[in-house]
Amino acid sequence: MSVPRTRSYAGPALFSYGFRPFFLAGAIYAAASIALWLPTWLGDIILPTHFAPVEWHVHELLFGFLPAIVTGFLFTAVPNWTGRMPLQGTGLMLLVVLWLAGRLALLMSEWTGWQTALLVDCAFLVAVTLVIAREIVSGSNWRNLKVLVPLGILTGANALFHWQVVFADDTELARRLAFAAASLLIVIIGGRIVPSFTRNWLVRENPGRLPASFGLFDKLAIGVTVLALVCWVVLPVTAVAGLLLIAAGIVQLLRLLRWAGHRTLRDPLVWVLHAGYGLLCLGILALGGSILEPEIVPPAVAFHLLGIGAIGTMTLAVMVRASRGHTGQELRAGTGGKLAFAAILMATAARVAASYLPEVNVALLHLAAASWIVAYLAFAITLGPALSRSRGS
């Protein structure tokens, strides 16, 4: 993802490219929301939101944090795909303000009302989807129209989540839609950048076997995964859904093995991409296992492998690489990046272990939360200054 050409821009550097404000704000919010979540779940504090604690926690990962990072990535990648100018300056600033307003409206919805929270929060994803659709269509970049599918699903799932909180008994359907959309985004975007960045690094640093080119097997893997996710969304507790998810996890794991990740172990900035995609594969496998054998694979294990593991690791991998590369720094993980990667993997391991070790459950939850916070604060502290100033300054 190279930095696209831009029109003359003399405003704040923070609003010159989409990745700058959204990566920084998203990282800070990722840390802050988990810092609020654990004491809320333990009953130490009460948030002024009409969402139940678990609902707020799930919503803010899937519809608060994740959209910020996806927006930052796409607002920088799409102009590169289309050759059109990126959104910057006032327009970008207004979208950041809208995203922040959504977080506050939801957090304080007992005061503002659920209707305000719904409208303000949902407006952000609608606006982002429309902007990206306009850019792709205007640039006749038809091959990338597919990114609108998971974006559209995420947008609809967000509105459904709000509706279910108020009018239904649970938010399970909206959650499934959101996790399916997030998984599909990783399959589509990760399936492009992981082998591409791996190939570039291997050609330069470790000549030999290269990642397999995109071909029939990749199309098969994507097709099986889409079918499995659709079946899970529609028929979530059926054996068919469980078996299809396990099949999808296996073919995605085989796809990952074709990308020669084992040859990149000396560069954390590359291998962490493989780790993130691998956690997606494990998450999909666990999702299938949680349907077929829930006593062996608790649903919480599957959801946290996807949430902390796949989403958390892949977002950090992309954020560190893009932020360093696009601000004139050497393309390496750096101390902050290494700390962030180690911490997010620790958070994943601790949260999964918490589901199997009830006697130390609370301690492991604290470890998982602290590790997540360290991961995103490490990014914000070490790369925040570079995101806030002009490239190379």
How confident is the model over 265-288, as pLDDT tens digits?
A: 999 999 999 999 999 999 999 999
Are 150 and 200 in a shared domain?
no
Are 289 and 164 in a shared domain?
no
> Hey, what are 294's tokens?
């829930």
Check pLDDT > 60 for residue 235. yes
DSSP state of 389: S
Residue with tokens 């172990």: 265
CA nearest neighbour of 268 among 214, 324, 306, 215 = 324
Are 89 and 208 in a shared domain?
no
Are 155 and 227 in a shared domain?
no
Q: Which amino acid is at 292?
A: L
DSSP string of 333-374? Answer: -HHHHHHHHHHHHHHHHHHHHHTT-GGGHHHHHHHHHHHHHH
Are 42 and 84 in a shared domain?
yes
How far apart are alpha carbons 175 and 349 in whole angstroms? 22
Average pLDDT over residues 189-218: 95
pLDDT score for 81: 86
Are 251 and 311 in a shared domain?
yes
pLDDT score for 214: 95
Are 335 and 376 in a shared domain?
yes
Taking a C-beta distance cutoff of 8 angstroms, is the pair 37, 51 a contact?
A: no
Average pLDDT over residues 254-264: 97
Q: What is the dihedral of CA 67, 72, 77, 80, to 10 degrees?
A: 140
Taking a C-beta distance cutoff of 8 angstroms, is the pair 243, 288 a contact?
A: yes
Are 64 and 210 in a shared domain?
no
Domain-ending residue, one of 118, 144, 170: 170
Average pLDDT over residues 151-176: 96
Domain that holds residue 120: 12-170
CA nearest neighbour of 185 among 143, 227, 215, 153 = 153
DSSP state of 51: S
Are 197 and 136 in a shared domain?
no
DSSP state of 213: P
DSSP string of 230-268? Answer: HHHHHSTTSHHHHHHHHHHHHHHHHHHHTT-GGGGTT-H
Residue 232 CB burial class (10 angstroms; 0-12, 13-18, ≥19): buried
User: Does 178 fall in a domain?
Assistant: no
Q: What is the dihedral of CA 116, 372, 38, 361, to 10 degrees?
A: 140
> Hey, what are 136's tokens?
């792709």
Task: Write down how long the chain is.
Answer: 393
Are 26 and 138 in a shared domain?
yes
Average pLDDT over residues 63-73: 97
User: Does 180 fall in a domain?
Assistant: no
Residue with tokens 């998810």: 245
pLDDT by residue (tens digit) across 70-100? 999 999 999 988 888 888 899 999 999 999 9
pLDDT score for 392: 47
Domain-ending residue, one of 142, 170, 198: 170
pLDDT by residue (tens digit) across 161-172? 999 999 998 999
> Hey, what are 248's tokens?
């999808």
How far apart are alpha carbons 262 and 17 in whole angstroms? 33
Are 147 and 269 in a shared domain?
no
**H helix intervals, the chain:** 19-41, 53-59, 66-82, 90-107, 109-112, 114-138, 148-167, 172-185, 191-205, 216-234, 239-257, 268-292, 299-304, 313-325, 334-354, 361-387
Number of domains in the chain: 2
User: Does 6 fall in a domain?
Assistant: no
CB atoms within 10 A of CB 104: 13
Average pLDDT over residues 194-212: 95
Does residue 7 or residue 96 have the better pLDDT?
96
Are 157 and 203 in a shared domain?
no
pLDDT class of 8 with cuts at 50, 70, 90: low
Taking a C-beta distance cutoff of 8 angstroms, is the pair 342, 363 a contact?
A: no
pLDDT by residue (tens digit) across 98-140? 999 999 999 999 999 999 999 999 999 999 999 999 999 998 8
pLDDT score for 393: 37
How far apart are alpha carbons 252 and 281 in whole angstroms? 6
Domain-ending residue, one of 135, 170, 205: 170
Chain centroid to Cα 299, Å, comes to: 19
Kindly report the backbone phi and psi dihedral angles of residue 46, in degrees, each rounded to the nearest multiple of 5, phi listed first: -125, 125
User: Does 27 fall in a domain?
Assistant: yes
User: Does 3 fall in a domain?
Assistant: no
pLDDT score for 80: 87
Averaged pLDDT score across all residues of the chain: 94
pLDDT score for 83: 85
